[in-house]
Amino acid sequence: MTLKRQLLLVSLLALLLPWAGCEFIRETESALRNGQQQMLAGTARALASTMATRGNEYPPRLDLPLDSLASEQHYVHALATRPTIDGYFDDWLLDPNALSSMRGARGSIQLAMGSYGRMFYLYVDVDDLNVVYASAQTMILDDGPRYADRVSLISVDPPEPETQFVFAAEAPGAIISYRKDAFGFEPEPGISAHWQDVPGGYRLEAQIPLDLLGRNIGLVVGDTSSESERAIRSSSYSGRSPAPSVALSKSLTAAVAELAQPGMRILITDASGWRIAAGGELSAATTSESSENGWSNRIYDLLVEGGEAAESAEPDPSGRERQPYVTAAIAGREMASWFRGDDSGRAIVAVAAPVRNDGEVLGALIVQQGTDAILSLTNEGLARLINLTLIVTLLVAGALIGYASWLSRRIRHLSIAAEDALLNETLHAALPSALAVDEIGDLSRSFSNVLRQLGDYNAYLRSLASKLSHELRTPLAIVTSSLENLEHEELNTASAGYTARAREGADRLRRILSAMSEASRVEELMEHGDPESFDLRAVLASTVAAYRDVYKNREFKFETSLDKATVTGSPELLIQMLDKLADNAVDFSAPGDTIGLRLEADGSKLLLAVTNPGPPLPEKMRTQLFDSMVSVRGGENTRHLGLGLYVARLIAEGHGGSISAENVEGGVSFVIQLPAEDSR
């Protein structure tokens, strides 16, 4: 990873800033909400104790398990308008969830009960694929229209006996309903009802005067598959008689409406959670603001603690409040909850307090309040925070990127300069940032130091051979002259043999020393020699002819497309260079191989390639090959000190050219590049 990317990553730490800000906002919001909750809880407690004084308004607590009782109770919704009796539910203006359901013989049965004015309304939707209508004859039987599909409303006002209102149709449309009680079975003119056929069943809507009904209400649906069979009964209650129905208490509702402050909603439930009073409205969400700051709200929603969905704060359409905090209050425990809208971010705080009378929980009082104040405060803070941190983050990231670019540019320059110095052997050149006081300056200085030491070392290596040969020459002269004198003494055969061997050794040593000082002599010659202009082509042709004589077990091939290749320099030295390359090529090829020499023009340069078949050069040696005392030859070939190619390089460079080695297919090619004086 580049330095720039690393610093970019580091700059991401600036994002901790908005995170911290959000934490702060969240804390603030939570503190505000808690305050509001506590305030609301006080209100709820006060209201609950007020409401407890109206103990008689609450439905009596039944000695049944709460849930099984509630499932048998019916909630009589307070309707906003008077429904038309036509078999349609939509003019009840209730949520479809307000429909409660029970199991029928052939599917489910949906039903709803409501009241408007002095009238009770019933809506039943029965799934029945085979609707059996009553016929005129069957209507007269004592318990109603036997052998026909029918709906019965059971009403009891304990300890009175039960009354049944039976709805059965001879045909779809308005139907006559019957009343069946202790006095008999007869049509009830006060009731109007409508039977509507729908695919897969039928619907019944009925209007019954409240006076006809008792407190406990139940529903029984009879289903028959033909006129000759008894109906299968489905009942909304399990006991002998239905449970009491629940409806809004008028006096409690009125009281609550008075107590509710603007923006506050108060609900009262009975001990089963049935809503018996509701008043007040939550203030409407400020939609204009939310659309304007939609993006910040969205971020806000992401960042702040989410509550329950705001919709669930609404009164339950079924009439029974089952929120956990309400259940807790019914169990005698005051509890708070809060809600948040999806879009606006508006929070609703709610508190449920138990309504107690003589230590007995009559029900629960629920107070809800919207928190626009919190929203606007946190929203504004959030917007400012986000803008600020965005700017700060961008600034920090920008600054870091700039800084990183500057740093990496310096480091890059340094590394390029160091590589250049290494490549061009200008090891004493000054590197960039050498005067800087920071770590890059230190790096540059230590780089310079390393390069300088490397340069010194290289220079030392280069001069080592000639120095060594120089120093060894005198002791060698002592040995040689001593041996030569010894040869003039009287020697026995053994001594003569030893002397001859010593002479051989000394001769070899002399040749080695002379090879070692060759480089310095070549340098000297190039420094002092006067360059001449000559045709390299002719020189090469002549030299290659000489090689054919010297190396009789190799083929030499000289190719050129040039008519003339004029070069300035010393032909003798170039031949010496060629000698080294030819010697090298012969050493690395096998008898019978062809060593190729090729002279080509490349722009203003001449390329001379000496190619021999043989083993490839080790890749890592390719550039070092031309250094002093570097050899790729195996250990057995000791007469090579690795100076030949170094001399070749000295000569090539002394002529303003260069030398390189590359592996070609099946062999090795040494290429010398020389500046041409003119070439065609």
- Residues forming contacts to other proteins in the complex (CB under 8 A) are 470, 473-474, 476-478, 480-482, 484-485, 488, 510, 513-514, 517-518, 520-522, 524-525, 528-529, 538-539, 542-547, 549, 570-573, 575-576, 578-579
In the complex, what is the shortest distance from the CB of residue 606 to other proteins, in angstroms, rounded to a whole number?
16
Q: How many CA atoms lie within 13 A of 418 on its CB side?
A: 19
Query: Token digits for 209?
Result: 């005067």
In the complex, what is the shortest distance from the CB of residue 426 to other proteins, in angstroms, rounded to a whole number?
27
In the complex, what is the shortest distance from the CB of residue 533 to other proteins, in angstroms, rounded to a whole number?
14
Nearer to other proteins by Cβ, of 352 and 465: the residue is: 465
In the complex, what is the shortest distance from the CB of residue 477 to other proteins, in angstroms, rounded to a whole number?
4
Three-state secondary structure call for residue 446: helix
Nearer to other proteins by Cβ, of 323 and 517: the residue is: 517
Nearer to other proteins by Cβ, of 284 and 545: the residue is: 545
Cβ atoms of 514 and 469 closer than 8 Å? yes
Three-state secondary structure call for residue 627: coil
Three-state secondary structure call for residue 371: coil
In the complex, what is the shortest distance from the CB of residue 530 to other proteins, in angstroms, rounded to a whole number?
9
In the complex, what is the shortest distance from the CB of residue 639 to other proteins, in angstroms, rounded to a whole number?
15
Cis amide linkage into residue 159, ω under 30° from 0: yes
Query: Token digits for 398?
Result: 């920008």
Burial class of residue 334, CB neighbours in 10 A (0-12, 13-18, 19+): middle
In the complex, what is the shortest distance from the CB of residue 575 to other proteins, in angstroms, rounded to a whole number?
6
Nearer to other proteins by Cβ, of 207 and 576: the residue is: 576
Three-state secondary structure call for residue 557: strand
Name the phi and psi angles at 56, rounded to 5. -70, -15
C-alpha distances out from residue 666 to 163, 165, 554, 581, 594, Å: 115, 112, 16, 17, 12
- In angstroms, the CA 118 to CA 78 distance is 11
In the complex, what is the shortest distance from the CB of residue 622 to other proteins, in angstroms, rounded to a whole number?
27
Tally of helices (H runs) and strands (E runs) in the chain:
14, 28
Nearer to other proteins by Cβ, of 555 and 662: the residue is: 555
In the complex, what is the shortest distance from the CB of residue 613 to other proteins, in angstroms, rounded to a whole number?
22
Cβ atoms of 83 and 114 closer than 8 Å? yes
Nearer to other proteins by Cβ, of 238 and 542: the residue is: 542
Nearer to other proteins by Cβ, of 356 and 510: the residue is: 510
In the complex, what is the shortest distance from the CB of residue 633 to other proteins, in angstroms, rounded to a whole number?
21
Length of the chain: 680
In the complex, what is the shortest distance from the CB of residue 625 to other proteins, in angstroms, rounded to a whole number?
22
In the complex, what is the shortest distance from the CB of residue 505 to other proteins, in angstroms, rounded to a whole number?
14
- In angstroms, the CA 220 to CA 641 distance is 117
Nearer to other proteins by Cβ, of 475 and 666: the residue is: 475
- In angstroms, the CA 605 to CA 236 distance is 109
In the complex, what is the shortest distance from the CB of residue 410 to other proteins, in angstroms, rounded to a whole number?
46
Helix H or strand E encompassing 365? strand 360-370
Nearer to other proteins by Cβ, of 67 and 484: the residue is: 484
Nearer to other proteins by Cβ, of 66 and 472: the residue is: 472
Full 3-state SS string of 16-49: HHHHHHHHHHHHHHHHHHHHHHHHHHHHHHHHHH
Helix H or strand E encompassing 617? none
In the complex, what is the shortest distance from the CB of residue 574 to other proteins, in angstroms, rounded to a whole number?
9
Full 3-state SS string of 229-284: CCCEEEECCCCCCCCECEECCHHHHHHHHHHCCCCEEEEEEECCCEEEEEECCCCC
Nearer to other proteins by Cβ, of 127 and 579: the residue is: 579
Nearer to other proteins by Cβ, of 426 and 482: the residue is: 482
Name the phi and psi angles at 432, rounded to 5. -65, 160
Residues 6+ apart with CB under 8 A from 624: 630
CA nearest 645: which of 666, 629, 668? 629
Cβ atoms of 17 and 393 closer than 8 Å? yes
Burial 517-535 (b: 16+ CB within 10 A, else e): bbbbebbebbeeeeeeebb
Helix H or strand E encompassing 317? none
In the complex, what is the shortest distance from the CB of residue 457 to other proteins, in angstroms, rounded to a whole number?
24
- Cβ count within 10 A of residue 327: 17
- In angstroms, the CA 409 to CA 421 distance is 18
Nearer to other proteins by Cβ, of 61 and 473: the residue is: 473
Nearer to other proteins by Cβ, of 394 and 538: the residue is: 538
Nearer to other proteins by Cβ, of 67 and 504: the residue is: 504
Which amino acid is it at 578? L
